[in-house]
Chain A
Amino acid sequence: MSAKQAKKGKEAKKAKKEKDDGLLRFTINGQAVQAREGWTVLETARQHGIHIPTLCFHPAVQPIGSCRLCVVEIQKNGRSQVVASCITPVQENVQVLTHSEEVENVRRWVLEMLLANCPASRQIRELAKAHGVTSTRFKVEHPEDACPRCGLCVRACDEVVGVRGISLGNRGIFKEVTAPYHQKSKDCIKCGTCLYVCPTGAMEHLFPQVSAL
């Protein structure tokens, strides 16, 4: 057996072992990472200490991919796709880029639009600043608004508390956090979970409008 063959055999053995341990291997920003089947790209990145910004994500509730700040570029077989990392399951042998130009372009525009639509939120201003977005060219129609309508409060009330005291009403640009029929919710137990999970501080203003207590 030549040295070359021996090396090849060793490599094959190593590859087989890797396959058997049930881990999926791919790269994030060139760094080799491993993940269990069923993990999301975001979970894997956080596990490896790689930062991806999020707004509507909270580990205690199901992700829905609403804010799109966690977008990443996934390259596979020469094709590239921009996806929300919080809802995208990991795949083997792909390259994930968390800060490519295409990805940053999405984030910057989302943040600039959020500055105009949630002008009252300190958290959004800080997040935007971290991405170099300090002002917005879009119209500020409601200076007191801080809510991005990500529905994290609604999901937490349902999934964590199990109360369903609040909901998202209406659709599109008229979407709002409200209680059924715009009546203050009598189901609310005033536990404060929504206040705690709200990523923008909006719930502090909204809470008295949706809770009957």
Chain B
Amino acid sequence: MMGDAMAQISIARKLEDFRLPNIEALASYRESILAERDPNRTVIIVCHGTGCIANGSPKVAGALRKSIAAAGLTAKVIPEIKTTGCHGFCSRGPLVILQPSGLFYQKVKEGDAEEIVKTTLLEGKPIERLLYADPRTGELIPHDHEIPFYKYQHRIVLRNIGKIDPADIRDTIAAGGYQALALALTSMTPDEVIAAVEDAGLRGRGGAGFPTGRKWRLAVENARKNPGPVYVVGNGDEGDPGAFMDRTLMEGDPHAVLEGMLLGAYALGASQGYIYVRMEYPLAVRHLSIAIEQARALGLLGKTILGSGFNFDIQINRGAGAFVCGEETALIASLEGRVGEPVPRPPYPAERGLWGRPTIINNVETWGTVPQIIEKGAKWYANIGVPHSTGTKIFSLVGKVNNVGLVEVPMGITLGRIVEEIGGGVPGQDRFKAVQTGGPSGGCIPYELKDTPVDFDSLTAVGAMMGSGGMIVMDQQDCMVDVARYFLRFLEEESCGKCLPCRLGLKSMLEFLDKFAQGQGSPQDIDDLHSLARAIMKGSLCALGGTSPNPVLTTIKYFKDEYLAHVVDHKCPGGVCKDLITYSIDPEICNGCGVCARTCPQGCISGERKKLHTIDPTACIRCGMCMDECPVGAVLVA
């Protein structure tokens, strides 16, 4: 992947000779790295985020290396090939970007390497077929910073991702990594670090939006009252379906997380930290491990960091895949080796956390934001976003949207702008139907509320939530009853089962929804489901259960007509619920090509060549394959 394991170790070994004895050494080390680099040298960046790797980017990088070697370039002009973390524009991968020009190639295949070297590197001409074309106008956009997907973003946490090689600490240091740590160690007291985070107005990026500075302050006060060891914890147990913010940060810029935790540890006086990452993120675990190894080698972790009296080290703990372990008390239980089940708060971890000691536990995205606040100042950060939700937030924009990927935007931007300007709108339709924010226990916000500002309080006000930043776009072909069912099924599986409203409630809400999806039930049942949802919201022990009714409550609130269509008219307006739909072929449009008949797994479509085909509704299993395959759009669903 990012060079082989041996190379990583050799970087770490080489660094050992460079253990930085003091702050000045960090500065001169950075200068020496920058001096070695020729700013005019072409750097070919090949995205090695998980999405691009799955699409074959390691093969692209390999082919580029081969083609460059075969082209016989002289030593002075050999371009550097850099493998980086995720650029965010995952639907267009694998991505190749040429620096310093910023020429942006998308959907690059192994076979394109030779042409890139010949046409672009040697002749200096762009390859049109690899450029990004605006899906609406068809206009070709050659450079990354001009593409709407990137143009409207404000990248603070993600600023280095896609530019640095996460497996080489020298890249991070060249890009300004560990400068905030140096600043804090030389010119700030722990109290001033906390004050900066407080003044910046930073709120936790994990979902609940608790003010980070206040959390730190509470932990410090509790530690003073009750002297002894204290801890900092990074929560990287991201489990929402369709969310990959934390993953991208840990994979693409692991040092930002480490530096944030170093600053938190300095503020609290902790000497041990833990990062809890899910095992399903092997690349994140790998890059964090490499980053920790290299930071230790340079003396940025461990004893007497940069010659100061500050000692701190970080250990990685891998989660076994339970969604509920993202809840802080369950995470701490899991870290301690107990069953990953939440315990009631208070006491909050800031008072009694890991091993019963004051603990600062923050989402990794929150940690990744802290160094920027320390480096550029609380005022700078507080000026971004809106008054009660400052700064930027990363969202994973997925679902029925043209530009699927990861976006970082200032808080307070409207939902509509994210979906339409950055996301490029819904494919084939002029508007979205709803956006589910906040993961499975978030809420569905309808198109009518597209001007809702995306910040903690506005989202809560419409019944949704910020959550960790998942954003799933839905179009007219999505059924809201089915959407609520989908998220509830996920939560039913992930409920730990400790408290009854969550363990039995999710199952019981699903019983209602299953009935509706079959066209059974009555309008009274919809009201009863609402009442049950409220009982679960009020009665559950932790936030998983407490927020689990959100998909039900918001879809009933904004799409009640759709629920009524199911139970009263026995129709599914989205054409999704299998018991309520029938497929037919429009005789006006069908050209008798026979594709549907060949595709149908039931063999229940018949018709002569070049004549109208018909579907036998008694044998049809409503899989919808005929509709997907019909070249003229003659298959209808109602």
Contact = CB atoms under 8 A, between A and B. Distances in A.
Interface stretch (B3-11, B167-175, B500-508, B617-625): B500-508
A138 B503 CA distance: 14
Contacts of A137: 528
Q: Which of B322, B497, B531, B540 has the most CB of A within 10 A?
A: B497
Interface stretch (A7-15, A29-37, A167-175): A167-175
B115 interface: no
Interface in B149-179: none
B538 A110 contact: no
Given A82-B539, A172-B496, A68 B501 contact: yes
A110 B535 contact: yes
A71 B497 contact: no
Interface stretch (B20-28, B63-71, B260-268, B487-495): B487-495
Contacts of B507: 113, 173
Contacts of B413: none
A128 to B, nearest CB: 13
B598 interface: no
A87 B496 CA distance: 19
A153 B96 CA distance: 60
Contacts of A139: 511
Contact of A171 (B495, B501, B506): B495
A149 B502 CA distance: 13
B504 A114 contact: yes
Contacts of B535: 105-106, 108-110
Contacts, number: 90
B525 to A, nearest CB: 9
B539 A68 contact: yes
A65 B492 contact: no
Chain B interface size band reads 20 to 34
Interface string A99-125: 000100110111001101100000000
A64 interface: yes
A141 to B, nearest CB: 10
A171 to B, nearest CB: 5
Nearest to A170: B497
A88 to B, nearest CB: 8
A156 interface: no
Task: Please classify the interface of chain B as helix (H, G, I), strand (E, B), loop, or mixed, using the class held by over half of its residues.
Answer: helix
A65 B541 contact: yes
Interface string A38-53: 0000000000000000
A67 interface: yes
Interface in B204-255: none
Nearest to B514: A139
A105 B534 contact: yes
Nearest to A64: B498
Contacts of A102: 534, 538
A148 interface: yes
A66 B344 contact: no
B580 interface: no
Interface in A49-71: 64-68, 71
Contact of A172 (B344, B346, B494, B534): B494
B532 A109 contact: yes
B538 A105 contact: yes
B581 interface: no
A113 B504 contact: yes
B133 interface: no
A138 B508 contact: yes
Contacts of A149: 497, 503
Given A105-B534, A139-B511, A172-B492, A110 B497 contact: no
Contacts of B346: 89
B499 interface: yes
A84 interface: yes
Contacts of B539: 68, 71, 82, 106, 109-110
26 contacts: A65-B541, A66-B500, A67-B499, A68-B499, A102-B534, A105-B535, A106-B535, A109-B501, A109-B536, A113-B500, A113-B504, A113-B507, A113-B508, A148-B500, A149-B497, A149-B503, A150-B500, A171-B322, A171-B496, A171-B497, A172-B492, A172-B493, A172-B496, A173-B495, A173-B497, A175-B497
Given A68-B539, A110-B535, A175-B497, 19 more contacts: A65-B344, A65-B499, A68-B500, A71-B538, A82-B539, A84-B344, A88-B344, A89-B346, A102-B538, A105-B534, A109-B501, A109-B532, A110-B500, A113-B500, A113-B508, A149-B503, A172-B492, A173-B495, A175-B503
The 5 lowest CB-CB distance pairs between A and B, nearest first, are: A175-B497, A106-B539, A109-B535, A113-B504, A82-B538
Interface of A: 64-68, 71, 82, 84, 87-89, 102, 105-106, 108-110, 113-114, 116-117, 137-139, 148-150, 168, 170-175
